[in-house]
Structure 1
Amino acid sequence: MTQRIIYAIFTFLSVISYGQVKLTMKPDKTDYSGREVVNLTITLELNGDNLVQQSKLMLPDLSKFNMIGSGSFNQGVRDAETNTAIDEYVTRIALEPKQKGKIRIGSVLVTVNNKIYKTEPFDIFIRDIEKKPIANVSNDVYLNMEIDDREVYQDQPTVAVLRVYSKNIDNFRKVKNIKLPEQENINVHPVNLKRSEIDPSGYGNMASQILAVFMVFPNEAGYVEVPAVSASVNTFSNKSKIASNKVKLNVKKLPEGSPESFKNAVGNFKVDVFHSSKEKVEVKKPVNVTVKVSGEGNLADLNLPKIEESPDYDVFAPKITTRLSPGLTGLKGEVLAKYILIPKKAGDLIVKTEPFAYFNPAAKEYVNLGQEKLDLTSFSHDEVLEARSTVEKVNDYTNTLLETVDSPVLKTTSFKVKEKSKFNWNVLLVNISILIVLFLAYLVFRNWQKNRDIIKEKPTSKPLGSVAETEQEIRESLKTDITDYFAYLENLKISGDYQKFFETFEEMDQEVRSQYFQSSKEDFKVFLERHNGRSVAESYQELLQKIQIEKYSPLTSEDSINDLLKDIVKLYSLISK
């Protein structure tokens, strides 16, 4: 009887466990401080052969977090005692909180055999982020580095935006010497370092301005932390350093199955090899061969395909030139590797590049371009000479002469002529004419050297003019180049040296008054009223008053100095006509 009861209990337990679904979501802890990462683990366990997962895991609302990484794996086993299959699916999510305080994380949903299962919601607590004082200025200045796309492939770029925040707009011009992050596992390339317009509706009732936009290329997989961007805040009293936040990236590893020719090219590219010169290739003479990689991606950092070595020629290290500009998915343009080859024998030559492959993140596949080939035909020195026509030989002799003759009158190397495949009498006549002109010019130059000390001009006395003419000549000699002062004042305005700005204005005003023989500002005002009219004199008086007000104002803004400079340029341009 006892054995029957035990058998019935085991049978009942097996029926209960058959077809069981277990769905859970747990955080690594419930209390976080600062910018700690919240790690969530979601586990789905299907215990039974007849269980079918009909939908993907539906995550709760995570808008209060930045998702910086995710990953999943599954494993399946079979229970030997019950002979049932157990499938376990585990998903891990890494989140960065956007706000402090208590945050509720909702349920995860999944549909199995037409039935919806969900987890229980729970709360986590984010403690206040301790902000250290960044800059010793009247109103603090903060830097913030923003990266929207934080999940990229290895060597795939993501765009970073650097913003400055402050309650005092005047502090923006004090932020200088921006230093972009540097680290071995990332490559950083600037996109735009021009400042944007000031946005008055920034975060936390603070105005903001974009200082820089740059691309970050992570060159290793895993969690990569982009270092902070630093800058300096220059004030009249001190100079302090500020730093932005750090940003974590989830860098995905490139898929397996890459070709042997793949190195680190990520994007969309094309490879060409060419020989641009039209001259014949000669044995033991250098030949320029260019390998061009064009497209969009990590062009600035990829390993270029090299020219393969061959017993038919010698190849030397290339000179790399780049023509790049920012694109939507990386840097676009072209990279040129200019090689020098020296053929060892006459005949047909085949120049090959190394095989080249790249990973296209848009299509998520590898593209193998293979090798590029360039066919060349090299000639011996005797074959090159025999192929030349009579006029080409004359041109060659003329060019040699023009290179060796050192003429003090003409730059003879500019008259060199190129080889022509057809006989051209005009070229021959031009070469002969050049030689004759050079010889005549040399004779004229020697004759001028002999006679330059003999011929002397007798100075003529300058007639005396009237008093008015004499005064006009003196005034012209004392006339100040007013545009130099305008340019200097503009530079002082941009640099923010307002004290020097007012000193330079006083110096300019004194120079202009001296030009018109007026020692004081009152006399100069009377002079302007008599010669330029009352309106000009009144404008001069009003400008002096504005100068005094701004000079001794406790707070001088860039806009007021800009308006003042416009009035100065307008008035003094009219006076100095």
Structure 2
Amino acid sequence: MRKTLSIISLLTLIITQVVGQVTFVASANKVVELGENFKLSFTTNARGSNFKPPSLAGFQVLAGPSTSSSTNIQYINGKASQSISNTYSYIVQATKVGKYTIPKAKITIDGKIYESNTLNIEVVKGAKPNTNDFDKANPSNKNQNNSANDIFVSNNLSKTTVYQGEQIISTMKVYSRVGLRAFNDFKFPSFTGFLSQDIETPSQINLQRENIKGKIYNTGVLRQLILFPQRSGTIEIDPFELECVVQVKAGKRRNFFGEMVDTYADVQKKLKSPIRKVKVLPLPTNKPASFRGTVGSDFKMAVNIDKNETSSNESITLKVKISGSGNLKLINKIDIDFPSTFEEYDPKISSNIINTIAGSRGSKTFEYLIIPREPGDFTIPAIKFSYFDVNSKAYKTLSGEDIPIHVTRSNEIMVSNNNISISKEDIKTLGTDIRYIKQNNFELLPIDNAFFGTWKFYLFYVISSLVFILVLFILRHKIKQSTNIVLMKNKRANKISKKRLKQASVYMKQNDQAKFYDEVIHALWGYLSDKLNIPASEISRDTVKETLIEYKVDEKTINSFIVLIDDCEYAKYAPSAEGAQIGNDYKKAREVINGFEAVL
């Protein structure tokens, strides 16, 4: 009993219910057809009581409320957590066309009353989807009908008339009233004439119901981009193409009980969106001097300098932050008129820009490192930034204030101890007409004691030329030899045979008689094949004997070779030989090859 209580107590300590903030959410399809049955759910993440449903005027309740609950326990890194889901569900039917708002439902949880969100539901007359698409995919089936409007793709543009540089949201979607099974291939437009930036979309395509001209479609977003037109005039956007697999009605058949039921088949469809045209208006000609092509809205400028008083040769950091909505990424320069005695470095540029369906918005910061080289009172004129405002359709100029800087004389000539995170790109050279006196030890040479033109110079020149000619001659000789295959085989014959005999000695130590004699035979025949330039396919005892006689090799050496070949071939397939015999044959092979090497 005590053990059971201990286990219960342990489980109670380990499992903690993660409720956090209580949620009470209502959910249903946003668009339904007249007479369509759909599910209306109210879900909370805690156990509640006294559930009060909302008024469902305009809808007929077919079933409900039915309740369901689930508990999920997770055990991660020694900690357990528990989540609860309670759902109240209704099956309702739309009885009248129109737009309806379902009020909030109420529920009591831990003595506190919680309310759900409201729901906006649109009821349309609708039309039944045409699932008889099998004939279009298979022209031989002429008994079925097809509607091309049951599935299509479209490139939806937020605007079709814009100014040059004004952002447009392009949304490529698929619309379907039939069963979508899979997406096979996408071919997106090239967007020639636009600068495009992708908007992050979920990798999993989720279909949502939408009312399109009185019909309900399941729609999914395939890709979204922000487009910035780079020239004026009419720009065409290429079609968007999609290959997908849909489920279509193929016919009827009788089931096990003899009833007629529909049959379906998966067919591949190629969809293509219409060409879209965008009218791009040119920007007005009365451009301000500080305008550099920025187009958008709600731009702001903040100017910040780290200090207004400093010493000469000490650095100052000036930051200019531009924020707003538009083509921020195209801003690459801010015009600032620094005093002529200020050394200016290329700015460090940092961006914080996000792309959403509302457009491109964020900020861009330019951080300048400037170093005053002379003392005095200076002024950086007010920094100006101009942009074209798409809302007012006019240019706007943002202006800061004049920045006074007081520079005192520094005791040091140069200061380079500032830890600035900006990389220096360009340095101006000051005072090139003055050179410092060298104070370290150095060697002076008489003017007439130069190496060039002396007898040592000419001797070095002659020796270098001779060495070059010698090296060139040796290289040409080696190249010529390498092209002579017969000569190369002749030279390497002894090296290859020694390599084979070395491998044979390994087999001899391993007491592997067959492999030992195989290597010895290949060493002997291979040596004479390379040395006498006899192809391996033509070499034989008679051929070798005739050729060796032509080379004036004595008959005793020739006979020793033939006898050794015979003994080795016999020993290779004969019963195991004694160790002394194998060692004797190995010694004879070395002696025969050395004998040939001395005369060939």
- Fold conserved (TM > 0.5)? no
Structure whose alpha-carbon radius of gyration is higher: 2
Question: TM class by shorter-chain length?
Answer: 0.3 to 0.5
Q: TM-score scaled by structure 2?
A: 0.35
Structure with a larger share of its residues in strand: 2
